[in-house]
Amino acid sequence: MTANRDSGPLLSVEGVSKTYRSGRRLADRLTGRPETFVQAVNNVSFGIERGEIMGLIGESGCGKSTLGRTILRLHEPTAGRVTFDGTDLGALPDAEMKAMRRRMQIIFQDPYASLNPRRTVAEIVGLPLQLHGLATGRGALREKTAEILEKVGLKSMHLDRYPHQFSGGQRQRIGIARALVSHPEFIVCDEPVSALDVSIQAQIIQLLTDLKQEMGLTYLFISHDISVIGYLSDRVAVMYLGEIVELGSVETVLANPRHPYTQSLMSAVPEVDRPGHRSRVRLTGDLPSPLAPPPGCKFHTRCPLAIDICRQKAPVAESVGPGHTAACHRLHENLSLLEQEAS
């Protein structure tokens, strides 16, 4: 490892886009209807420093999971470049990419769907060790697997059990053990707590923060829950319809959100601390279909501040403070939905 590599961000994402071809029915093909595309991720750029937790927040269908998977090359990006520890992942041949996967892992949202019901815990968690040749012999394999289970709060007596014998929270611990067993450096946490009950959610969040300290991990933490992101991330990227609309440190973005979407997202979260003390931004309508995204700024169909230019031209992200960027045509007018409604 060169000194140069150590100094840069661990992961950098430059202009990444991911487009899916939308299903075309036979009738569509026969009548020669043109193909339609879903632009799930559109020209996204950011970097993640070593040891950092980058939060990625957005509503369902905004492309946050696709982005997480595209970064790991579980999906090939349509455009753009992902660099991990100085290596351009897109340029790696398959064999080297496979070796690289030891260092970058993912934890999935659904602890029921993401574990093979026909495999024991030892097989599920031990698989990465076998794939990457990290343990030779049955004894060593079991020993390393048991070791990681202890780390995530399970016991070696659980080794020969099947996923259905565990509760949701325990299954998520198995998923975490599988991601950590190869001692990766970077983990995409894709909504790892949103399927869990409040008390179990707190256990898993605490576990993930403890493990990060202990094992020196870097996370991309994907969530739709502002409270979770606000509690544990260092920086946050706010995504809307495939684009990052605001990015910055959690303190600045959540204390002083500049994009109207971030502002409305913040005001929509009910909090126990100060009920009724916040002004409510009323967003009307639903997320537009990514099959037919609106022209101009993609948020203009729901934005209370939209003016003519927003309907015609897409805004470009600009700096609004140290390390804080937002993409909105009306940034300089210093409008805030939050204050406006309060007055």
Partner 1 sequence: MSAPTDKTLLQVEGLRTVFETRDGTVCAVDGVDVIVERGECLGVVGESGSGKSVTFNSVMGLVRSPGRIEAGRIMFEGRDLRALNQTEMRAVRGRDIAMTMQDAMTALNPALTVGEQIAEMLEAHDKGLPSGRNARRRAIRAHSVKMLGLVGIASPETRLGQYPHEFSGGMRQRIMIAIALASMPKLLIADEPTTALDVTIQAQVLELITDTRAKLGMSVVLITHDLGVVAEHCDRVMVMYAGQVVEQGRTADVIMRPKHPYTKGLLGSLPRLSLRGQRIEPIEGQVPELIDLPAQCRFYSRCRERGPECLKNIEMRDAGNGQTARCVRVQKELAT
Q: Which residues bind partner 1 (CB under 8 A)?
A: 59-60, 167, 169, 197-203, 205-206, 224-228, 230-232, 250, 254, 264-265, 267-273, 275-276, 280, 282-284, 286-287
3-state secondary structure of 45: strand
Tell me which residue of 72, 78, 58 sits closest to 103, measured CA to CA: 72
- Give burial (CB, 10 Å; 0-12/13-18/19+) of 76: exposed
Residue 35 beta carbon to partner 1: minimum distance, rounded to whole angstroms: 23
CB closer to partner 1, 141 vs 174: 174
| Contact present, 330 and 305 (Cβ < 8 Å) | yes
| Contact present, 46 and 16 (Cβ < 8 Å) | no
The β-bridge partners of 77 are: none
Please list, in sequence order, all residues whose beta carbon lies within 8 angstroms of the beta carbon of residue 101, skipping any fewer than 6 positions away.
72, 132
Residue 280 beta carbon to partner 1: minimum distance, rounded to whole angstroms: 7
Residue 193 beta carbon to partner 1: minimum distance, rounded to whole angstroms: 9
Edge-to-edge strand list for the sheet holding 11-21: 37-48, 11-21, 79-84, 87-88
Where is 147: in which H helix or E strand? helix 138-151
Tell me which residue of 44, 51, 8, 78 sits closest to 220, measured CA to CA: 51
Residue 206 beta carbon to partner 1: minimum distance, rounded to whole angstroms: 6
DSSP structure string for 198-217: HHHHHHHHHHHHHHHHHHT-
CB closer to partner 1, 217 vs 232: 232
CB closer to partner 1, 236 vs 331: 236
Please list, in sequence order, all residues whose beta carbon lies within 8 angstroms of the beta carbon of residue 170, skipping any fewer than 6 positions away.
154
Residue 318 beta carbon to partner 1: minimum distance, rounded to whole angstroms: 24
Residue 175 beta carbon to partner 1: minimum distance, rounded to whole angstroms: 17
| Contact present, 89 and 24 (Cβ < 8 Å) | no
CB closer to partner 1, 91 vs 291: 291
CB closer to partner 1, 72 vs 247: 247
Q: How many residues does the chain have?
A: 343
CB closer to partner 1, 77 vs 230: 230
Q: What tokens does 175 get?
A: 């998923």
Residue 17 beta carbon to partner 1: minimum distance, rounded to whole angstroms: 23
CB closer to partner 1, 101 vs 302: 302
Question: For the chain, how far is it from start to end, CA to CA, in angstroms?
Answer: 56
Q: Report the distance separating Cα 222 and Cα 67, nearest Å.
A: 10
3-state secondary structure of 154: coil
Residue 228 beta carbon to partner 1: minimum distance, rounded to whole angstroms: 5
CB closer to partner 1, 13 vs 177: 177
The separation between CA 314 and the C-alpha centre of its own chain, rounded to angstroms, equals: 24
CB closer to partner 1, 83 vs 201: 201
